[in-house]
Amino acid sequence: MRHFFYALVAVAIVTILATANLAFSQGTVVCRPGGTCLTTTAAIYNSCVDLALRRGVLLTKDDRWVLDRFVYQCVAGRVTK
């Protein structure tokens, strides 16, 4: 019984690591606060965050919602670069 448990734990760990690696290779998910999500690449996400910082969005506690909303709008293609 103990060997079965160890084998089950090993399979679970390998499955979790393989799933996480597959998710990272497919892209980044950006979600609108309280709504839908978009899948994008890490390069597009990073360019949108850089654009937000260039336009004056700060990374303080109060501006986190503004940053998330701006990045979502940028990834959706609604912000001119």
pLDDT band at 64 (very low <50, low <70, confident <90, very high): confident
User: Could you tell me which residues come within 8 angstroms of residue 75 by beta carbon, excluding any fewer than 6 positions away?
Assistant: 30, 38, 40, 44, 45, 48
In a domain, 81, yes or no: no
**pLDDT tens for each residue of 37-56:** 888 888 999 999 999 999 99
User: Could you tell me which residues come within 8 angstroms of residue 42 by beta carbon, excluding any fewer than 6 positions away?
Assistant: 27, 28
Based on the structure, what is the number of domains in the chain? 1
Straight-line distance from the first to the last Cα atom of the chain, in angstroms, rounded to the nearest whole number: 60
pTM above 0.75, yes or no: no
Q: Provide the residue range defining the domain that includes 27.
A: 2-75
In a domain, 20, yes or no: yes
In a domain, 52, yes or no: yes
In a domain, 12, yes or no: yes
In a domain, 11, yes or no: yes
pLDDT band at 77 (very low <50, low <70, confident <90, very high): very high
State what percent of residues in the chain have pLDDT above 90: 26
Name which of 10-24, 25-39, 50-64 the model is least confident about: 10-24
In a domain, 30, yes or no: yes
